[in-house]
Amino acid sequence: THSSKAGVIGRLAAARAGVPRIVHTWHGFPFNEFQSWARRTAYIRLERIAAKHTDAFLGVGTDTVTTALRLGLTTPERVRLSWPAVDVDAYAAAPGARAQARRRLDLPLGVKVVGSVGRLTFQKGPEIFAKAVARLPDDVFGLWVGGGPMADRLAKLTAKLGVEDRMRWLGHTDDVAAVLPAFDLMAMASRWEGLPCVLVEAIGAGIPLVATAVPSNQDLVLAGETGLLVPPEDPERLAGAITAMLDDPAAADRMAERARGRVGEWFTPAHLGTV
């Protein structure tokens, strides 16, 4: 089983049906520090109930595994560390892809582009991203790929910040790989994360990274080595890190290259098959 709700229901149903072996993958957990104590406690209790009916686990990312062990959801011999299986070569930009993507998005010539991909939800921090873009020079555009329940609120915020001309909410797309080449930089403003596949995809495309210093992001972004990290909920620090990367493209490209080497070793379908 996978995911939180389906994982609990599926494991309990499998146990009731007498399935001989039950394996669950944790991509992250439904509980987090931004929830009330009661809700967080209820989610942990449900995970513990389901864990009693599980023979083995895969935990995506080191923080997922350490959290599961700390909360007593599993034992070391029943859990394996896993990574998202992403074909990074599929995201490598073809010659001319950057210019083509920018023409398709009708971006002005010569602008710098900071992008992000994710749902428009509190978790992903899109309002933090917009506030960071508002602190950047006028020749820096922000692009956000993904839709969600905060869309109307974010349109109003963009107008209030006075950046309607350079902060664009692109909505959902089924072809993220076609948009990524337009980015000079990927900036992730999430308050919490499982291990985000979109960062792996951006690395595959050779895009430098700035991300919030939440645990799962740090499996991918080693500060100053494969990207830059900033505290969550801090648009000023996010804007500062973006500026540092855009002002030193040679250093940003070196970090992107090191990130691609790291991902190419661990985050492939072939590696997942050995777990």
pLDDT given for residue 261 in this prediction: 85
Q: Name the strands in the sheet holding 79-82, side by side, starting at the edge strand that comes first in the sequence.
A: 23-26, 56-60, 79-82
pLDDT given for residue 73 in this prediction: 96
CA 245 to each of CA 100, 144, 216, 237, 255: distance values in angstroms, whole numbers, following the listed order: 23, 18, 22, 13, 10
The DSSP H or E segment spanning 187 is: strand 185-188
pLDDT given for residue 271 in this prediction: 61
**3 state DSSP class of 229:** strand
10-residue mean pLDDT profile of the chain (275 residues): values are 94 97 94 91 96 95 94 96 79 86 94 98 98 98 98 98 97 93 97 90 93 92 96 98 98 94 72 56
What domains are defined for the chain? Answer: 4-82 (no CATH), 89-265 (3.40.50.2000)
Q: Provide the pairing of β-strand 112-117 with 140-145.
A: parallel
pLDDT given for residue 270 in this prediction: 66
d(CA 203, CA 219): 13
Q: Kindly provide the b/e burial profile for residues 83-107, where b requires at least 16 CB atoms within 10 angstroms of the residue's own CB.
A: bbbbebeebebeeebbeebbeeeeb
The predicted model scores a pTM of: 0.89
pLDDT given for residue 147 in this prediction: 97
pLDDT given for residue 269 in this prediction: 65
Name the residue among 123, 98, 146 with its Cα closest to residue 214.
123
